[in-house]
Structure 1
Amino acid sequence: MSIAERFMNRYSNPWKGGKAGRQAAILTLMLALALPASAKVETDKVYDPVSPTVEQARANILIARQLQFTHFRDMSINDSLSGDVFDAYLEYLDGQRIYLTKKDIENFSAVRMGLGSALKTGQLQPGFDIYNLVQQRIIQRLEFALSLIDKGVGNLNFEAEESILLDRSEADWEADTDALDALWVKRLKNAVLAQRLNGTDDEAIEEALRRRYEGQLKRVYQARSEDAFQAYMNAFAGMWDPHTSYFSPRTSENFNINMSLSLEGIGAVLQSDNEYTKVVRLVPGGPAAKQGQLEPADRIVSVKQEDEEKAVNVIGWRLDEVVDLIRGPRESTVTLEVIPADAPDETVTETIAIKRDNVKLEEQSASKEVIKFDRNNETFQIGVIHIPTFYADFKAMQEGDPNYKSTTRDVRKLIDELKAEGVDGVVMDLRNNGGGALHEANDLVGLFIEKGPTVQIRNSNNDVQVLNDEDPSVAYDGPLVVLVNRMSASASEIFAGAIQDYGRGLVVGSQTFGKGTVQAVRPLNHGQLKITQSKFYRVSGGSTQHKGVIPDIEIPSRVDKTRIGEDALDHALPWDQIEAVPHTRYFDFSGVIDELRTRHDNRFKDHPEFQLLKKEIEFLKQQREQTTVSLNLEDRKEYQSQIESTRLSIANARREIHGGEPFDTLDELDEWQDQQAADLDSTDEELDFIVHEGGNIMADMLELDQRMASIMNLKQITAQAQAR
């Protein structure tokens, strides 16, 4: 069938759709001129281009209306937005710029500014044609890579002084197919080198890479209309903010409002990241969090079931299919091959075995401990309360169970127990707490203040709702420190921000995530739309969005803020502020904060754990700044040796601090870590030094408070004596 015939079949009368229909028809014809009738490469298989359905077109129109009229961000669909949607769509389809050529991009130039009008009226074909072209280019690239493997990886030259760019997201598009061929030769060399240096022989390398590329090919040939539609709609919806997204009917079945796309089995929240599936966060109390090796920003390469010999490569897979593969019966083990978040390049992977289980509410519960500090012949007892998430047993609550579990109820009990033990101060540990039930954050603030506002919520109409603590009782009125880090988000930020605004306690740690928006899920005729409808503001008026909560005393973190956090996300809503609401200021720390910071700095100056943390942060920073990697075997060996040596030295330094024997090799370290991770009942006897520092800061506050009290008492006695 000719291009013209295919075009006429697609649009029997495109002009009756008005201006938008004519634009879409012209764009489609222009794209058709760049598309072969089918993608037939060195195989008997033929790629069958996907086409939009009537239901998808209707859903597209509904999505466009919802975005324009109900999203918090007031934004129109215009030519400027068209260009941004086009760029985001290409970023999703070919984010590393390894499939399309500069000529392909030039052929898209006429399409770039017309997508907006088409998206307003459900004209989806231009987006589908872009998708189909990219899929065909992917097939061509994968077939080329397989042809190189067929010739034998031993024929590749690893003696030349070559290097490869690790992140191509900002690179120029390659000029033509020949340039792409040269790039893919380098990509293959990089993959082979990484496995050779791990001790894998060439035959096993060829088998593994062939399996990877053939698996990706299989996924491309199985492309569905819904794949193109979901990718296109998410590029479109993502223009408003990164938390607004479209869920296909199948994805909607897996969606849980409290825990988007969390996996039944390992307890991890995942999202698509170009051709990879990326870990967003771990569910507190879940198997992955307890196992301890999987980390946010890790990317999943393959998944292996315990009863299978070979892993299934999932690069290029749909998110819902990766979810299905990782799910499984309780007590069974799934093994994930991941690219660690701090890996120097995509060829560095590690294998993590996780035993599937249900996430139990009691394992997410708040817990406590007491630590003691000796200062000037006086001992201070500091209570520490760890809160992994803001939870509530809604089912038990609705059934009228008087003993239902919730964050606030559990913390109140822990506070009573700590008070009975005679603690002098309390440290609330909200590190890695990604949020949860909003009303629990509101109620938790109420345990530490008398009646008053806790958070403001503004919608797209600028209407502001103020949540209040209506209970005048206070569970704890003593000194308070709140620990946070980059993974503290949403409800955690509301609590920390309120405590800071009320002057009720000090916030210690690193800048929080900055998730200050509220989403709602709206049903469509086809799937669902998760849309941002409101924004959180502190009682002082500043938003928690984008900026998060800035600690009063900062402690550096290993987390790369340029990759994790709201301000690292494209199109994130900005920080702003509204009017403050009247609230009590319990204490003004301005008179003591400088002294507290000085004491903290002096303690950390020679603290072995902190010095080690700084070394790790610098090591990770150097790796992130490495933009290229050598393809010369000897140079690569030296580079890997340096990385392994640094890893081993850091691990042994930590072992020495805790009185352990040093590891002789990296293999020995990895084996020990696997054993520790496999023993889910094991506990770390050493107190987390960040928690310990939170206690030290509390002890400083108590000492300074006593000093100030003594000064005030002395002044009072002097004044009385003078009065006589």
Structure 2
Amino acid sequence: MNYKRLLVSLLVAGASLTSSLANAYTDLQQPHDYDQVAKELTEMLEAVHYNRPTIDDRISASAFDLYLDSLDPTKSFFLKSDIDKLSKHRLELDDALRDGKTQIAYDIYNLYMHRVEDRLNKLVKELPDMVSNFDYTKEENLNVDFDTIQWSETPQVLDEYWRKRIKNRALTLKLNDEPVDKIASVIEKRYRNQLKQIEQTEPADVFQTFANSITAALDPHTTYFAPRASETFNINMSLSLEGIGAVLQYDDDYTKVVRLIPGGPAEKQNELAPNDRILAVGQDNKEMVDVVGMRLDDVVDMIRGERGTKVYLEIQPAKGDGQTTKTINITREKVKLEDQAAKKKIINVERGGETYKVGVIELPTFYSDFAAIQAGDRDYKSSTRDTKKLIEELRQEGVIAIVLDLRNNGGGSLQEANSLAGLFIPRGPILQFKDTSGRVRVMEDRDPSVTYSGPLGVLVNRMSASASEIVAAALQDYGRALILGGQTFGKGTVQVLQEMDKGQLKVTQAKFYRVSGESTQHKGVHPDIAFPSLLDEKSVGESAQKNPLSWDKIHETRYPVYWEMSDYLPVLEPRHEQRMKEEPNFVALVDQINDVREQASTFKSISLNEEARLQLREEGKEKSIARENKRRKALGLDPITKEDEIEPSEDDPYAQEAAEVMLDFIAANQLK
């Protein structure tokens, strides 16, 4: 097949998107120093991936769709005629990778980039007149439900789609007080930035995108990193570079926040949240740079910087109305081990005229200071050692129960998770692994001592993942702790890094299983007592990923059960639910959750009518003010009149309620 000829024919046959601006993109060709990398990737995936897949036509078909989706996720550049012509190669990507002849991936990419360049040049040319002619009194809507958007049949249909997108951006800027005469230039700057990005595309970028369409067809955690991306990944893993402490990913032309690193600047500031979109990035005394459509590693480079300096982010909050944006600033810091260390606090609970103390141990991650261990430091820090010390301090302070807070704990050292669970049980199995060969191994705590044998709760949420789920699952199966909060993330797989001729492969090689034999994959750990949460299981967690490995079950191990927690739930649940209806912070939270979920269920299109948008914004403000005033009235606080008077509460209603549940548990246990 002459792929160069194919590309030319597609460009001629497809819609002609004329432009008065010069084209800067030069067609990329398959770099032959990646021929062997392609073959090596195929062999490695088939040999070491957990599912031992055969990279065949089935994988090719899935990878083809994923490749197109990674290039044009919002169906903004390709026409249906392009897709129809390219579809004849749906079953050829596996052969291209296996043979090390990946030019077809470059031809598809080149066609895409020409479509992008032509479209953006056209927009830059037409923007001033287009923006000046927008009628914001007209009743029309923009479809933002990307699952329902189809490839445009004609150039005219695509033109109309783009007109509405730009009108939405222009209206958003107008509503955010951008001077009307500046709106066209602000939008134009975005597309000129994207045109500059086109010139910087490198062959390795294309290979990485193509390779990851293959790996994504296997599971969401197997990823190929080209050399530059590999360096970024290693920096993130070591937390050795100053930044804001956020894990980011590229999603539908946007840079999206995946999670915040515990102890990092963004988490401490509490203005950035998972699923927020970053629209622009700025530095001290410099103009904001629009980053929509920009390469993820370039956005990351802009956000990183020297410790003590500020970075400015224009964000579209995930919890907002999907239309309003705001600008925040975060002071860059280096995430230190001590910032992620276990911490304790005591919550006082009033019952029957008496005050009871419940200890809470916050554990942001499972850590161990390997450098100190290697240096022979006997006083090295680790999550287990620090937690044990805090337990002993809490016992001396007279607590009657302990809550282990694993909210937002994304995991860490497996060995630490194993030994930390062992603080609460005598020796015994903690988790099971099954590898690619089907062999099952058991990881167990071999220390017969128990640091704490009293009433224990474990507080989790949707961002509790991996090692956190192992600890919560083990303590739940042993009947050693009540699990409180929300369903956990559901990441029950193990990845290892494999060095390649160029770059690295992070590949799934094993699955976790509970001592009960059930996998934590996909389903996560379900709480015994559920708390309301703003984090939606449909948009966050393993089940929200593409192609997650399935849940399954293996043989259980032998382990004792200390408390049959299900026996206590008929007593605990009604009391918990009653408090949810009465406690002001939770009442306000539930109201907010209902509003957010109602918006999400109906937010399939955006009105392009200014009056309708203003009304929607005002309704949102009025709801926020009413919700806050309802909470403040219940707490005996003065009411507010403006939304910006709402300040983040320093109270932690989740930890307070966890302490209340533990007192209920103690009371119920005394009655048995």
TM-score category (smaller protein): over 0.9
Question: How much has 1:660 moved relative to structure 2?
Answer: 5.1
C-alpha distance in 1, partners of 2:70/2:101? 20
1:690 corresponds to which residue? 654
TM-score by length of 2: 0.96
* Equivalent residue number for residue 477 of structure 2: 501
Report the counterpart of residue 452 of structure 1 in structure 2.
428
Q: Distance in 2 between matches of 1:198 and 1:71?
A: 48
Q: State how far apart, in whole Å, the 2-side matches of 1:105 and 1:327 are.
A: 38
CA distance in 2, matches of 1:421, 1:280: 38
**Separation in 2 of the partners of 1:40 and 1:157?**
26
In the aligned structure 2, how far is the partner of 1:577 from the partner of 1:609? Answer: 39
CA distance in 1, matches of 2:494, 2:630: 43
Please state whether the residue corresponding to 1:598 is helix, strand or coil.
helix
Residue type of the partner of 2:581?
K
Q: Shift of the alpha carbon at 1:609?
A: 1.8
Alignment counterpart, residue 249 of structure 1, candidates 224, 227, 241: 227
User: Match for 1:504: what amino acid?
Assistant: R
State the distance in 1 between where 2:351 and 2:22 align: 79
2:300 to 313, 323, 329: 323
Deviations 1:657-709 (A, max 9, x none): 5555444333x34xx76xx8xxxxxxx653x111111111110111112222x
What residue number does 1:699 align with?
663
Match of 2:591 in 1: 615
Q: C-alpha displacement at 1:456, in angstroms? A: 0.7
Counterpart CA distance in 2 for 1:176 and 1:88 is 23
Alpha carbons 1:31, 1:107 under 8 Å: kept: no
Checking the alignment, whether the CA contact within 8 Å between 1:262 and 1:269 is kept in structure 2 is no
State the match for 2:381 in structure 1: 405
Paired residue secondary structure (2:237)? coil
Opposite residue 704 of structure 1, the aligned amino acid is A
1:608, distance to aligned residue in structure 2 (A)? 1.9
Cα distance, 1:561 vs. partner? 1.1
Residue in structure 1 matching 2:331, options 339, 355, 360: 355
- Aligned residue number for residue 612 of structure 2: 635
Does structure 1 residue 595 correspond to structure 2 residue 600?
Answer: no
Deviation of 1:649 (Å): 3.1
- For residue 652 of structure 1, report the CA deviation from its aligned partner: 4.2
Query: What's the C-alpha RMSD, in Å, of the aligned pairs?
Result: 2.0
Judged with a 3 Å threshold, the aligned counterparts in structure 2 of structure 1 residues 665 and 362 are, in CA distance, closer, same or farther, namely: same
Aligned to 1:259, the other structure's residue is in SS state: helix
Task: Extract unaligned runs of 5+ from structure 1.
Answer: 1-24, 677-683, 709-724
Tell me, yes or no, if the aligned pair for 1:262 and 1:268 is still in contact at 8 Å.
Answer: no
Name the aligned partner's letter for residue 287 of structure 1.
Answer: P
| Alignment CA distance shift 1:140-1:645 (3 Å) | farther
For structure 2, list consecutive stretches of 5 or more residues without a partner in the other structure. Answer: none
Structure-2 separation of matches of 1:464 and 1:119? 32
Determine helix, strand or coil for the equivalent of 1:281.
strand
Residue 152 (structure 1) shift: 5.5
Corresponding position: 1:307 with 2:288: no
Confirm whether residue 644 of structure 1 aligns to residue 621 of structure 2.
Answer: yes
CA 161–258 in structure 1, closer or farther in 2 if over 3 Å, else same: closer
Deviation at 1:71, TM superposition (A): 0.2
The residue number in structure 2 matching 1:369 is 345
Residues 584, 635 of structure 2: 8 Å contact kept: no
Structure 2 equivalent of residue 6 of structure 1: none
Instruction: Please say which structure displays the higher CA radius of gyration.
Output: 1
Per the alignment, residue 581 of structure 1 pairs with 557
Question: 1:53-64 maps to which residues of 2 (within 5 A)?
Answer: 53-64=31-42
Distance 1:652 1:260, change over 3 A: farther
C-alpha change, 1:103 and 1:39, in structure 2 (3 Å) is: closer
- Corresponding residue number in structure 2 for 1:137: 115
Verify the 8 A CA contact 2:235 2:241 in the aligned structure 1: no
| Matched-pair contact (CA < 8 Å) for 2:423–2:452 | yes
SS in structure 1 at match of 2:233: coil
Indicate the residue corresponding to 1:713 in structure 2: none
Cα distance between partner residues in 2 of 1:649 and 1:138: 46
Report the TM-score when normalising by structure 1: 0.89
Work out the CA distance in 2 between the residues paired with 1:614 and 1:378.
29
Change (3 A) 1:299 1:690: same
Aligned equivalents of 1:131, 1:550: Cα separation in 2: 43
Indicate conservation of the 8 Å contact 2:240/2:335, yes or no.
Answer: no
2:524 corresponds to 1:560: no
Q: Is the 8 A contact 2:523 2:551 kept in 1?
A: yes
Separation in structure 2 between the aligned mates of residue 100 and residue 603 of structure 1, nearest angstrom: 54
**Which amino acid is 1:464 matched to?**
V
Aligned to 1:549: 525
For residue 691 of structure 1, give the secondary structure of its aligned residue in structure 2.
Answer: helix
- Check 1:274–1:59 CA distance in 2 against 1; reply closer, same or farther (3 A cut): farther
Q: Secondary structure of 1:699's match?
A: helix
Query: Do the aligned partners of 2:239 and 2:334 also contact (CA within 8 Å) in 1?
Result: no
Aligned partners of 1:220, 1:285: CA distance in 2, in Å? 36
Which residue number corresponds to residue 362 of structure 2? 386
Task: Return the letter of the residue paired with 2:193.
Answer: G
Query: Which one of 56, 81, 85 corresponds to residue 107 of structure 1?
Result: 85
Deviation of 1:262 (Å): 8.6
| Aligned counterpart, 2:492 | 516
Alpha-carbon distance between aligned partners in 1 of 2:617 and 2:483, rounded to the nearest angstrom: 40
**Which amino acid letter does the alignment assign opposite residue 582 of structure 1?**
R
Measure, in 2, the Cα distance between the counterparts of 1:372 and 1:45: 68
Once the two structures are TM-superposed, the CA of residue 453 in structure 1 deviates from its matched residue by 0.7
C-alpha spacing 1:583/1:32, structure 2 compared with 1 (3 Å) = farther
Letter in 1 for 2:260: L
- Counterparts of 1:709-720 in structure 2 under 5 Å? none
Q: Secondary structure at the match of 2:626?
A: helix
Q: Secondary structure at the match of 2:104?
A: helix
Q: 1:598 to 1:655 in 2, by over 3 A?
A: closer
Q: 1:178 to 1:254 in 2, by over 3 A?
A: same
Q: What does 1:13-24 correspond to in 2, within 5 Å?
A: none
- Of 377-386 and 324-333, the range deviating more from structure 2: 377-386
Q: 2: CA distance between counterparts of 1:638 and 1:335?
A: 29
Letter in 2 for 1:333: K
Provide the rounded CA distance (Å) in 2 between the counterparts of 1:258 and 1:395.
17
* Mean Cα deviation higher: 28-37 or 410-419: 28-37
Amino acid at match of 2:438: N
Q: Deviations over 1:542-587 (max 9, x none)?
A: 1111110000111121012111100110011111111111111111
Task: Report the count of equivalent residues.
Answer: 669
Instruction: Summarize the Cα distance change of 1:381–1:617 in structure 2 as closer, same or farther, 3 Å threshold.
Output: same
Residue type at the aligned position of 1:201: P
CA distance in 2, matches of 1:28, 1:234: 23
Question: What's the secondary structure of 1:256's corresponding residue?
Answer: helix
Q: Tell me the distance in 2 between the aligned counterparts of 1:279 and 1:236.
A: 24
1:258 Cα deviation from its structure 2 partner: 7.3
Distance change (3 Å), C-alpha of 1:654 and 1:325: farther
Q: Is the 8 A contact 2:484 2:527 kept in 1?
A: yes
**Superposition deviation, residue 656 in structure 1:** 4.8
Contact 1:609 1:654 in 2 (8 A): yes
Structure-2 change in CA distance of 1:452 and 1:257 (3 Å): farther
The equivalent residue for 2:97 is 119
Inter-partner Cα distance in structure 1 for 2:77 and 2:130: 23
Out of 395, 407, 411, the position equivalent to 1:435 is: 411
Q: Show the counterpart of 1:239.
A: 217
Alignment of 1:143-542 (within 5 A): 143-151=121-129, 153-256=131-234, 259=237, 264-308=242-286, 310-345=287-322, 347-542=323-518
Indicate if the aligned counterparts of 1:215 and 1:313 stay in contact, CA closer than 8 A: yes
**Residues 588, 628 of structure 2: 8 Å contact kept:** no
Q: Deviations over 1:373-424 (max 9, x none)?
A: 2333544321111111111111001111111111110110111011111211
CA contact (8 A) 1:144 1:181 kept: no
Q: Distance in 2 between matches of 1:302 and 1:685?
A: 29
Letter in 2 for 1:33: S
Contact kept in structure 1, 2:404 and 2:457, CA below 8 Å: yes
Report the CA distance shift for 1:431/1:421 in structure 2 as closer, same or farther (over 3 A).
same
* C-alpha distance after superposition, 1:476-535 (max 9, x if no partner): 000101100001001100000000000001101110000111111111111111111111
